[in-house]
């Protein structure tokens, strides 16, 4: 039997995502009510510019006083899609204190202060859901938090930023340089006017922190995630990747150590074999590859950004939270019981592709190989090309730690025969 009194929802933010949330709540009101067991009512919308016309939203619902809205006391669920750290953090905390559960898409805040927000939700017996914070419409948070709760996740490897994937895919498929591909992404609306958060890996790093925390039942903050952007990736790097049967993606990688006693989280460009499922992810799409003990390998794929896809994830959380509200329960909160240490990048073990500019004369390869051997880094393959006294030397290693590779490169730079290190890129997915 359906309850007639509606559940009241406060919407914080009415931009691209927020306006889609409001639209879906209105156009699918009957379906949402049937799925939840009670009607849902948009009780207020907090915005910065109240004079802007917002189709489908009655002007009397619009307010600039977000704090007063979340403190009303009759609000059942607060949907936060304003982003950033403040005032979002204060508003979410106030919502819990005044009796509301929260649905958020705020990856930056959750990566920085997720533990405190979960503690506040738990203290007040309320829900904190955030499926939309990672990978847009792709169901990922809930499968990791609930469907795989009985399994042991060992690795999460994914493309979690559509802007960077579009740029790298364009460079791969057309031979375009980085700036040319970025300009096209901007013209098509995939890249912001200031793309720093995307191309320097900040956006992906926040998502990696959230994924690692859930996957490994350990608190992982944004500061724990190694981050390296993709602005230095060149057409020459793609040519080298193709010679190896690879392509290049900006990856978020969360791993449990082989002995199970620690975890790492990192974001950086990497070569991956064309045979790997992530290599075929094109355009602005996202995909995440999960490896666990019992279920093996799972892949989640779909649109990772945009108003409608992100709103879809928000509405999914809204339905779940409203159901919990009706039944007087809450869903799963933070699971950080494992409390594993988060190791730095120096402990990460992977393969490397190193391109060196060297003198074209006898003995160079032997000198370079000696340096690798002295630092305990085993060489898999070497390719050398030379002309007019100059040469390039491409070395692909077996698996080595980042610290060992760093020492190797430092020693290589000191060789008289090495003119410079043209590029270093990790090789993943094997």
Residue 248's φ and ψ, nearest 5 degrees, are -120, 130
pLDDT at 137: 87
Name the pTM for this structure: 0.94
Using the Cα atoms of residue 84, residue 90, residue 96 and residue 98 in order, give the sign of their dihedral: negative
Contact present, 231 and 178 (Cβ < 8 Å): yes
pLDDT in the model for residue 51: 84
Q: What is the pLDDT of residues 376-403, one digit of tens each?
A: 999 999 988 766 667 889 999 999 999 9
Determine the Cα–Cα distance for residues 208 and 133; give it in Å rounded to an integer. Answer: 11
* DSSP 8-state code for residue 144: I
Inter-helix orientation angle 162-174/178-187, to 10°: 130
Check: CB of residue 25 under 8 Å from CB of residue 39: no
Q: Are 128 and 101 in contact (CB under 8 A)?
A: yes
3-state secondary structure of 48: coil
Task: Give 137 or 98, the one with higher predicted confidence.
Answer: 98
The tens digit of pLDDT for each residue in 307-342 reads 899 999 999 999 999 999 999 999 999 999 999 999
Q: Which of 126, 207, 242, 387 is catalytic?
A: 207
What is the β-pairing status of strands 285-292 and 296-303? antiparallel
The confidence score (pLDDT) of residue 33 equals: 97
Helix (H, G, I), strand (E, B) or coil at 161: coil
Three-state SS at 140:
coil
Instruction: Give mean pLDDT, residues 1-23.
Output: 91
Q: Beta-carbon neighbour count of residue 297 at 10 Å? A: 11
C-alpha to C-alpha distance for 413 and 204, rounded to whole angstroms: 31
Cis peptide before 87 (omega within 30 of 0): yes
What's the pLDDT tens digit per position in 243-289? 999 999 999 999 999 999 999 999 999 999 999 999 999 999 999 99
Q: CA 22, CA 129: separation in Å to the nearest integer?
A: 18
Predicted local distance difference test score (pLDDT) of residue 52: 85
Cβ atoms of residues 62 and 45 within 8 Å: yes
Cβ neighbours, 10 Å, residue 149: 13
pLDDT of residue 327: 95
Distance CA 382, CA 362 (A): 15
- Percent of the chain residues past pLDDT 90, beyond the cut: 88
- Decide if 207 is catalytic: yes
Render pLDDT for 278-292 as a digit per residue (tens, 0 to 9): 999 999 999 999 999
Question: Which residues are CB-contacts of 149 (< 8 A; sequence separation ≥ 6)?
Answer: 332, 335
Q: How confident is the model at residue 171 (pLDDT cuts 50, 70, 90)?
A: very high
Mean pLDDT for the stretch of residues 71-91: 97
How many C-alpha atoms does 235 have within 13 Å on its Cβ side? 10
Is residue 304 very low, low, confident or very high in pLDDT (cuts 50, 70, 90)?
A: confident
Q: Report the distance separating Cα 193 and Cα 390, nearest Å.
A: 40
What is the Cα–Cα distance from 332 to 167, expressed in whole angstroms? Answer: 37
């Amino acid at each position: 039997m359906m309850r007639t009194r509606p559940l009241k929802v406060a919407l914080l933010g009415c931009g691209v995502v927020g306006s889609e949330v409001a639209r879906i709540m209105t156009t699918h009101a009957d379906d949402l009510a049937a799925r939840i067991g009670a009607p849902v009512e948009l009780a207020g919308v907090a915005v910065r510019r109240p004079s802007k016309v917002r189709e489908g939203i009655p002007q009397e619902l619009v307010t600039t006083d977000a704090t007063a809205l979340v403190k009303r006391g009759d609000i059942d669920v607060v949907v936060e899609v304003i982003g950033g750290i403040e005032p979002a953090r204060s508003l979410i905390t106030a919502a819990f204190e005044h009796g509301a559960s929260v649905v958020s898409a705020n990856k930056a805040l959750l990566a920085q202060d997720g533990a405190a927000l979960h503690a506040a939700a738990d203290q007040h017996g309320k829900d904190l859901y955030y499926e939309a914070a990672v990978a847009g419409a792709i169901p990922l948070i809930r499968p990791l938090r609930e469907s795989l709760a009985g399994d042991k996740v060992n690795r999460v490897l994914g493309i979690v930023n559509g802007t960077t994937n579009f740029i790298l895919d364009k460079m791969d498929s057309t031979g375009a340089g980085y700036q040319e591909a970025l300009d096209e992404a901007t013209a098509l609306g995939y890249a912001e006017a200031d793309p720093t958060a995307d191309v320097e890996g900040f956006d992906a790093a926040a998502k990696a922190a959230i994924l690692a925390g859930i996957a490994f039942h350990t608190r992982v903050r944004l500061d724990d995630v190694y981050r390296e952007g993709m602005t230095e990736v060149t057409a020459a790097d793609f040519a080298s990747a193709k010679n190896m049967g690879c392509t290049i993606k900006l990856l978020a990688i969360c791993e449990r150590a082989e002995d199970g006693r620690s975890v790492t989280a990192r974001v950086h460009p990497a070569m991956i074999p064309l045979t790997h499922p992530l290599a075929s992810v094109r355009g602005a799409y996202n995909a995440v590859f999960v490896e666990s003990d019992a279920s093996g390998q799972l892949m989640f794929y779909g649109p990772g950004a945009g108003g409608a896809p992100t709103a879809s994830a928000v509405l999914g959380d809204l339905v779940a939270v409203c159901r919990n509200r009706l039944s007087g329960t809450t869903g799963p909160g933070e699971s950080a019981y494992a409390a594993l240490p988060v190791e730095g990048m120096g402990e990460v073990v992977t393969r490397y592709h190193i391109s060196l500019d060297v003198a074209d004369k006898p003995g160079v390869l032997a000198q370079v190989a000696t340096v690798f051997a002295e630092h305990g880094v085993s060489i898999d393959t070497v390719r050398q090309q030379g002309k007019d006294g100059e040469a390039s030397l491409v070395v692909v290693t077996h698996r080595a730690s980042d610290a060992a590779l760093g020492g190797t490169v430092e020693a290589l730079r000191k060789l008289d025969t090495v003119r410079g290190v043209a590029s270093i890129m990790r090789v993943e997915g094997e």
